[in-house]
Amino acid sequence: MSIVRPIDFIVTHNLELRPAGLDPRDFSLLVAGFPNTRVLLLDPALPADQQEARLKAFLHEKARSPVVLAAMDPQTRGAVTLKLLLEKFQLNPELLTVVDLQAALENPDPKTRTLKALDLVRLAAVRVSRAVPLGSQEVPVSRRVLVWGDSYPALKAAGDLADLGYPVILATPHAPLSPLTPSAPQPQSPPEPLAALLQHIQDHPLLRPVTAAALLGFEGVTGNFTIRLCTPVGPLKEQVGAVILAPELEIAEAPERYGLPLHPRILSQTRLEQVLASPKEAAAMLDPQTEQVVVALMVGLAGASYPPALRRALSAASRLLNRSNCQVYLLVGDAKVAEPGLEKFLRQNQDAGLVLCKLSQLPEVTLKEDRPHLTFFDPVMRESLELAADLVVYEEAYRAASGNAELARLLRLQPAPLGFLQGDNVHNLPVATCRRGIYVVGPARAVMDLEEGLAEADAAVLAVQSLLGPGVASAPLGRAQVDRGRCVLCLTCYRLCPHGAIVYDSRADIKELACQGCGVCASECPNDAIQIRNCTDDQIRAHIRTLNPQLAPRLVAFMCRNSAWEAYQAALKLKHAALPLGFTAIKMPCAGKIDMDYLIRAFTHGIAGVLVLTCHPDNCKSHKANDHARWRVAQAQALLAEAGIDPQRLLYKSLAANTPQDLLDAVAQLRAYL
Amino acid sequence: MAFFNEKPVVVLGGGIAGITAALELAHLGLPVALVEKSPFFGGRAAHFACKATDTCQKCGACLVEQRLRDLIQESGVTLYPHTELIQAQRPDGLFHLTFRRQPQRIDPHRCINCGICYDECPAISQQAILTGSSPAQHPRYAINPAGCLYFRDGSCRICQELCFPKAIDLDRPETTFTLEAPALVLATGYQPADPRSRPHYGYGFLPRVITGWELEQRLRDGAALEIPGNGRPARSIAFIQCVGSRDQDHPYCSRVCCAYGLRLARLIRHRLPECRLATFYMDLQNIGLDAQRFQEEALAEVKLIRVLPGDVATAADGTIKLRYLDEVSGQALSTAFDLVVLAVGIAPGPENPRLAELLHLDLTPEGFIRSHDDLHRTATGQPGLFLAGTVEGPRSIAECIAQATAAVQQVRNYLEAAS
């Protein structure tokens, strides 16, 4: 028994406990037998005021000791009690632990249920008796914001932030500002709402546009980044609290994607739009005197294609169809119609005479008598067609800004597909990145319609406001601590921190505004210099040490709280989950905190089998912390094999929060092996 | 904002968009009332299955679960489950909204989620008792007056009699109440398109033809993929895309079905490596950030057939025969499948016309609520009333979250300008 300080136990007498062989009164008496403890037996169905009166008699004005709440389904059925404890009795959340007694009722044998329930509350008490309350601190932050890029979402974010009183640096490599409308021809002067965005940023006192800029340096952490910009008027060094990235897409002609020869009658989409905008050129290219002019538009036949490209092709098609002598073919691979109104637009064009041919491969282009000829297999007519076209128009390539790779390197962002800036992880959606305080909107994260990008600008502005507020941000105090006596400045933590939260002076220094408490640094530190508050090595070792050897088979599962722990909670609510009597779940803040030491130590304490359960690859909130756990398991297995212990007694599995069955399968798999 | 601060911003609809809006508003320190018509929060998206194979497929289902848990712990949001808007007025700039609230016939303090009421209910086929999808919901059962025999003719009180914690009281009266709200976010969502709009697929009378929505729920419950009727595991499954999208009745792309259809297929491939899979489609849409790579990977696991089957028939052995025109050979082919999954699209919510009338909003020809203009899809013609999520048109989970967050920013701007 290693409960190292007084604990207040609250046991709720839920109706189903007594029929299940776990009499709450007897159980409370047994709990009261632990050293250093007091016990309150509480009816969770009581109204809040009566519960408060009982809790007041037990805890007086304020909770002083850590509290263990043992109940059936405490998060929902004990919600009233939990709320009272945290709000009325000001219990620090770190000093409260809940035990779901359902885990004890899992056993088919009623006699062992009390034993199991006692073990559950004891383990909870062991861990929480070593807990330290987590404080909070006010961190001064810079209110200045860097908005990088000149897309309309960037302009909107910059303008809105400046309106809200945040000084903004709007920096872009382009000069002058050249925002694009991805799904429409680039106009000479933008239409009204967009022109207003451009106008708004020109003469705002808090907004400083910097064109032809290059980002040379980026240091520091959330709330206090230091940026170094190279501008035409000289270098600029500034502190910024947050960054919004929205560099404009690049729309490239890229005729090579379609393998097209150079020819005056083979045009890019932009070129066609220019032709259509100028009556003189249009008359030259699309002779109104001839009987028929054939135009072939090609979309979605080579490489990535997006709805904006189709919309532009359709806009051009409808203008062409308005000319009496135009016959327009749309040769399309996948027709990307997944934007509002696009399917309808396509149908309208078809009704107006557009010939739609869905092809499975690129048409062959040959030049005969000054006209491009297209040869392709028409799947509807089931024959090869040869089309003598007066104009062949190909869609353009939509690409992420070419400077993104360098930007990602400087800002230490996780790599993303196709040169975009948001790591491919759903937890970042919609606008977050792996680093707090750096947001990506619109063209920085995908090819999208202007409207979606502008909505994301709103979301990013909201995020910046809640982060920087009036210039002080609140952060937890003492979540991750560096023992400066042990740190040897090897920079392992600095390199591995998925959130970019670590800086260094003479020792590593963890900035709590950016830290998410995942614990990768603590587990990887070769000198054990970092501890995560309330998931310290001391706590986990005590937990493993006090596992009851009477409960067999002895299985321990280390669970990431984001996925496996939730799946475990859900599994307890399934009927017939039937977890083995000796199964113990240990909640970890993230798979990144599952130390090698814990895995080996479990075996030295006689545990029969150990499970490491993490989020699925690419779904970890801390980038690759789940991979770190997997690598550690592999290492530990090698060590176990060397020591003559069957390495398959240690099992790694990834699962999702809403797949409790996967958890049960993993337990069953290990159990079957043993 | 002193005047406005006392009155809650009302968010109508407790799905992913509504929950996101409510949470973000609460983070701003504004009081929020979240009103949901059904007894459970989470909406449609809370029924989706995680589609991870041995790696995350980025379907976003986990985001819903996460926000649902956050919602239950967020004290700034007042929850009104099983509550319907029946009247709306705006005489003085404030929305005066009258709601009808179904009582909690199952007392959450007493209910132990034993499920006896559900197991013993004689009218369960009429959905007399509804169940929640997520363990975060408590009680996980709710009595549905529309299906319950007691509310039809008073003939049955079996659940109340059997409930041993005495949590059920069928006689609790429903209540009406009025909220005065300075701003309103409309996030009432969508309904899955009715697969009977394509009657030749035989949904409704062929038991082996199911919808993607039904498949999601089966996978979520961890059920094996059995053939309805005979209990053997399915050895061949066909997915048919664009059911209730891109047709005469639904002249739009639902934007999510290719993504979920292919991900479900890949999940089944992962769970049942022996199963033969085919997806019939028109064009692949929105399948991921790196669509080409995803398509190549999917192609290795699922047969992609770029045509929609014309004809569905039952063979003698009970399998479903799909006839389609082969793109390469031009021949009509016929292939038998154990199970056919219709990837149903997003259809406008059934309440849209009523809500539009109550709140003086316009409908699009498709039946979604019309937004102000193409650049402001959260805004309506009315100041202080904003749209979020699929009430305005088809959207993915991630897009709903983005739009709901944008709507919150608009609410905030509106309230600051108004005070």
Do both A460 and A485 map to the same domain? no
Is A575 in contact with B115 (Cβ distance < 8 A)? yes
pLDDT at A510 over 90: yes
Q: Based on C-alpha coordinates, what's the Rg of chain A?
A: 32
Q: How confident is the model at residue B292 (pLDDT cuts 50, 70, 90)?
A: confident
CB B252 within 8 A of CB B366: yes
Do both B61 and B178 map to the same domain? yes
* CA nearest to B114, candidates A49, A88, A102: A102
pLDDT at B345 over 60: yes
What is the CB neighbour count within 10 angstroms for residue A38?
Answer: 15
Model confidence pLDDT, tens digit, residues A121-152:
999 999 999 998 888 999 999 999 999 999 99
Do both B253 and B279 map to the same domain? yes
User: Cβ of A285 under 8 Å from any chain B Cβ?
Assistant: no
* CA nearest to B350, candidates B213, B212, B188, B186: B188
Q: Taking a contact as any Cβ pair under 8 Å apart, which residues of chain A between 577 and 636 contact chain B?
A: 615-619
- List of residues 6+ apart from A301 with CB closer than 8 A: A258, A331, A332, A333, A359, A361, A362, A363
Is A654 in contact with B393 (Cβ distance < 8 A)? no
Q: What pLDDT, on a 0 to 100 scale, did the predictor assign at position B3?
A: 43
Nearest to A382 among B75, B330, B408 (CB): B330
Do both B143 and B111 map to the same domain? yes
* CA nearest to A10, candidates A49, A39, A44: A39
Do both A348 and A380 map to the same domain? yes
- In sequence order, what DSSP letters do the residues of B234-268 get, joined into one string? PSEEEEEEEETSSSSS--S--SSHHHHHHHHHHHH
- The answer as to whether A528 is a domain residue is no
Model confidence pLDDT, tens digit, residues A214-259:
999 999 999 999 999 999 999 999 999 999 999 999 999 888 898 8
Q: A380-385: long-range contacts (C-beta < 8 A, 24 or more apart)?
A: A382/B330, A385/A357
A493 φ/ψ angles, rounded to the nearest 5 degrees? -65, -40
A426 contacts in chain B (CB < 8 Å): 56, 58-60, 62-63, 398
Q: What pLDDT, on a 0 to 100 scale, did the predictor assign at position B280?
A: 95
Distance from CA of B153 to the nearest CA of A (A): 32
Alpha carbon separation from B184 to B42, B394, B417 (Å, rounded) = 19, 21, 15
Do both B155 and B260 map to the same domain? no
Q: What pLDDT, on a 0 to 100 scale, did the predictor assign at position B2?
A: 42
Q: How many domains does chain A have?
A: 5
B270 contacts in chain A (CB < 8 Å): none
Is B327 in contact with A360 (Cβ distance < 8 A)? yes
B398 contacts in chain A (CB < 8 Å): 426, 429-430
Do both A186 and A217 map to the same domain? yes
B389 φ/ψ angles, rounded to the nearest 5 degrees? 85, -155
Do both B249 and B224 map to the same domain? yes
Cα separation of A181 and A194, whole Å? 9
For residue A460 the two structure tokens come to 């990013």
Do both B91 and B183 map to the same domain? yes
Do both A77 and A124 map to the same domain? yes
Do both B210 and B325 map to the same domain? yes
In percent, the amount of chain B with pLDDT more than 90 equals 61
The residue from A372, A393, A414 where one domain ends is A393
A160 contacts in chain B (CB < 8 Å): 409
CA angle A658, A660, A664 (to 5 degrees): 160
Alpha carbon separation from A158 to A244, A454, B259, B408, B412 (Å, rounded) = 9, 12, 33, 18, 17
Model confidence pLDDT, tens digit, residues A584-636:
999 999 999 999 999 999 999 999 999 999 999 989 999 889 999 999 999 99
The residue from B285, B319, B346 where one domain ends is B346
The residue from A106, A134, A162 where one domain ends is A134
Torsion of CA A52, A56, A57, A62, to 10 degrees: 160
Cα separation of A19 and A488, whole Å? 58
Burial tier of A460 (Cβ tally within 10 Å: 0-12, 13-18, 19+): buried
CB B45 within 8 A of CB B67: no
Residue type, A526: P
A659 contacts in chain B (CB < 8 Å): 49-50, 222
Secondary structure letter of residue B55 according to DSSP: S
Q: What is the ipTM of this complex?
A: 0.92
CB A145 within 8 A of CB A244: yes
Do both A204 and A230 map to the same domain? yes
Model confidence pLDDT, tens digit, residues B47-83:
898 898 888 988 888 898 889 989 988 888 999 999 9
Nearest to B253 among A337, A456, A662 (CB): A337
The residue from B120, B137, B172 where one domain ends is B172
- The answer as to whether A99 is a domain residue is yes
A502 φ/ψ angles, rounded to the nearest 5 degrees? -110, 130
For residue A613 the two structure tokens come to 């359960």
What is the CB neighbour count within 10 angstroms for residue A528?
Answer: 13
The residue from B346, B363, B392 where one domain ends is B346
Secondary structure letter of residue B202 according to DSSP: -
Q: What pLDDT, on a 0 to 100 scale, did the predictor assign at position B218?
A: 84
pLDDT at A212 over 90: yes
Three-state secondary-structure class, residue A490: coil
Do both B96 and B111 map to the same domain? no
Cα separation of B23 and B71, whole Å? 7
Do both A171 and A129 map to the same domain? no
CB A218 within 8 A of CB A410: yes
Model confidence pLDDT, tens digit, residues B97-131:
999 999 999 988 888 888 899 999 999 999 999 98
Three-state secondary-structure class, residue A463: helix
Cα separation of A631 and B25, whole Å? 41
Cα separation of A472 and B297, whole Å? 47
Is B138 in contact with A456 (Cβ distance < 8 A)? no
Stretch among A190-204, A296-310, A590-604, A615-629 having the lowest mean pLDDT: A190-204
A377 contacts in chain B (CB < 8 Å): none
Nearest to B289 among A300, A338, A417 (CB): A417
pLDDT at A321 over 70: yes
- The answer as to whether A139 is a domain residue is no
Alpha carbon separation from A304 to A53, A258, A272, A446, B331 (Å, rounded) = 65, 12, 21, 12, 30
Residue B165's domain comprises 105-172
Quick one: how far is CA A243 from the chain centroid?
17
Q: What pLDDT, on a 0 to 100 scale, did the predictor assign at position A296?
A: 95
Torsion of CA A253, A257, A262, A264, to 10 degrees: -50
The residue from A472, A495, A511 where one domain ends is A472
Is B405 in contact with A462 (Cβ distance < 8 A)? yes
Q: What pLDDT, on a 0 to 100 scale, did the predictor assign at position B5?
A: 61
What is the CB neighbour count within 10 angstroms for residue B55?
Answer: 12
The CATH number covering residue A505 comes to 3.30.70.20
Q: What pLDDT, on a 0 to 100 scale, did the predictor assign at position B419?
A: 77
Nearest to B406 among A458, A570, A657 (CB): A458
* CA nearest to A358, candidates B145, B282, B179: B282
Q: Which of A288-292, A380-384, A502-506 has the highest mean pLDDT?
A: A502-506
Number of helices and strands in chain B (H, E): 11, 20
Do both B84 and B156 map to the same domain? no
Q: How many domains does chain B have?
A: 3
User: Cβ of A428 under 8 Å from any chain B Cβ?
Assistant: no
Do both B242 and B390 map to the same domain? no
Provide the mean pLDDT of chain A.
Answer: 91
Average pLDDT of the segment spanning A200-225: 93
Do both A653 and A549 map to the same domain? yes
Three-state secondary-structure class, residue A607: coil
Do both B156 and B295 map to the same domain? no
The CATH number covering residue B142 comes to 3.30.70
- The answer as to whether A529 is a domain residue is no
Do both A415 and A389 map to the same domain? no
Do both A125 and A6 map to the same domain? yes
Pairing assessment for the beta strands A242-245 and A438-440 based on DSSP bridges: parallel
Do both A306 and A382 map to the same domain? yes
Is B405 in contact with A430 (Cβ distance < 8 A)? yes
Model confidence pLDDT, tens digit, residues A411-453:
999 878 899 999 888 898 889 999 999 999 999 999 998 999 9
The CATH number covering residue B224 comes to 3.50.50.60
Residue A325's domain comprises 257-393
Q: Taking a contact as any Cβ pair under 8 Å apart, which residues of chain A between 92 and 151 contact chain B?
A: none
pLDDT at B418 over 90: no
Model confidence pLDDT, tens digit, residues B246-280:
988 899 999 999 999 999 999 999 888 999 999 99
For residue A406 the two structure tokens come to 């360098």
Average pLDDT of the segment spanning B1-11: 72
Cα separation of B138 and B135, whole Å? 7
* Count of CA atoms in the C-beta half-sphere (13 A) of B252: 20
A342 contacts in chain B (CB < 8 Å): 253
B69 contacts in chain A (CB < 8 Å): 566
Average pLDDT of the segment spanning A171-178: 90
The CATH number covering residue A634 comes to 3.40.50
Do both B252 and B363 map to the same domain? no
- In sequence order, what DSSP letters do the residues of B88-102 get, joined into one string? EE-SSSSEEEEEEE-
